[in-house]
Amino acid sequence: MIDPKYTDRPTPMESRFNGTRADDLQIGGDHYKEMGVQPWAVMEAVLTREEFIGFLKGNAIKYAMRQGKKQDSNDTGKARHYMQKLKEVLDGQR
C-alpha cells in the first residue's frame, strides 16, 4: 500500500518533465514533431487500448535494454518518454 504522505510528491518522471505532456516532447531530433500527425497518435487511433499499452511497454523495454549499446542515441531518454506516455494513457490523460 502507498503511504498517503508521499502521494502529493511528484514522481521522478513528473519532476523530469515538469508537467510537459509526452506528445509535446521528442527525444533525439525533431523528425516526428515535423510530421502533421505523430506515429503513436495513429497507432493509438487504430489499435485497441490494450494493444497500444503493449506497444508503449514494448518500446520502453526495448530502449531501456538498448541503453549504452547504440552510439549517439539517448535511449534512456527514449525509454522514459515511452514510460511517460504509458503513464498518461493509464492515468486517463489521453
Written as nine digits, the cell of 87 is 503513464
pLDDT at residue number 24: 62
Q: What is the pLDDT of residue 5?
A: 44
Closest CA relative to residue 60, chosen from 49, 45, 76: 76
Say what the pLDDT of residue 40 is: 83
Q: pLDDT means per 10 residues in the chain (94 residues)?
A: 42 52 65 75 93 95 89 85 91 76
pLDDT at residue 32, rounded to an integer: 64
Angle, in degrees to the nearest 10, between helices 49-66 and 39-46: 140
What's the CA gap between 12 and 15, in Å, rounded?
A: 5
